[in-house]
Structure 1
Amino acid sequence: MSEFIGMPAPRRRAPAAADLQARAAELRSGREAYVLATVVRAQRPTSAKAGDRALVLSDGTMEGFVGGVCATDTVRAQGLRLLELRRTDRSVLLRITPEAEEPREEDGLIAVGQPCLSGGTLEIFLEAVLPPVLVHVYGDSPIARAFAAVGRAMGYQVEVSADPLAAIAGDTAAVLVASHGVAEEPVLREALAKGVPYIGLIASRRRGAAVLARVDGGERVHVPAGLDIGARTPGEVAVSVYAELISLR
């Protein structure tokens, strides 16, 4: 009841910053999306203070402390809204105040009226933290190595394997096959079965057609993979394929 008009209840103990940082690191390593909520300004009376933090998970769970029940519910709702946008650069300043009548949004600011606040105003910075794009590269060729180098330079998480039976994670955004004819079909079938959005095969149009004729659903595979930019070197081929991936995403 600490957010209702009247005297605020004693402030609850917030989790240690190190604990929250460790939890955030755990979420990142597990490729789980979350929103980091940080109180940047607290106009008393409020139960939160500047520097308080919380994590909003994709299932609505909140860990940490950014205020009482009314503030928490608002932060949860706006945090989930950010996660639904699925943009890595998405952040917003949330102002929760009893003075606003209707929600208002402009230039990275969302102002939300909350009459059950105890009279103060909170400004909370919300930052969506999404897992990096996951790319599975199959092969041990110069082009496969270029896929790894270019993808990592772009900030993607690139998993490289020369094992055609290696597992493909369910949230993989792209599978790039660059083994030059070695055990391509099992990888393509697995990628198609997992519903990977982008599947690229490094092969000539003629050889690629012969390979895909033996793979159900092969019409979804991009071959020759990449945009036609006159690529010749492994690095140029990698750039052309990632450019196609970006254009389609």
Structure 2
Amino acid sequence: MSEVRRIVTAVLIAALLLAAAFALYAWVKSRPQDLPWTKLDLGQPIGLFTGRKLTGLTQDFGQCRRLLDKAGVRYTVLAPVEAGASCGYRDAVRFASGGARRIGFSPANLGVSCPVAASLAMWEWNIVQPAAEKHFGARVTRIDHLGSYNCRRMYGRDTGDYSEHATADAVDIAGFRLSDGTRVSVLGDWKNEGAKGAFLREVRTGACDLFATVLSPDYNAAHADHFHLDQAERGESGWRACR
């Protein structure tokens, strides 16, 4: 009798393992973006490793451009800027009108590194527009920003590490304009207890799944009027900041 029990137990274990394997296969097939080894696709939903893959594009301008092209993002490539050992860029693009990216930027002609552009596109599609529809029943038509490229050290100091702005790998977002005329600003509405505040907190937190660094008014007074979004490379540790 004990031998029969062992056989039955073995069969049950095998059946459970087979069922688990089929479940894992189905999950992998339906959520490839959740795996570290699958290729990045800007048109896919945000996955567990999407942010790290976007940051990794800083090493491959050609691949970044191919991803933008595939996703239907229209852009122009900016001429390289050489400004010393710590400043300048060779992978910057400027969004063009039309295409899959419908949100405009103010001031116009925003130029950012390609990985930041790819991240902004995914942020729009997956986070910003759904949040606007949820909280206002309207769409974001324009994003107000405080710029990207700026050859300076962090916080404008005379010494210390250079900012990600020094290589166009960062952008500062100040507010949003909606299709119904609503305007939402980080400075004026971060502490709002209604829809505006909820919207800002949602798009801030959502950005953390895409950018290496997200700094908001919750971080310090220097960010009271904007979200700092960047794609900083941090070596093998790849640590990310969301504050």
* TM-score, length of structure 1 as denominator length: 0.25
* TM-score, length of structure 2 as denominator length: 0.25
**Structure with the bigger percentage of strand:** 1
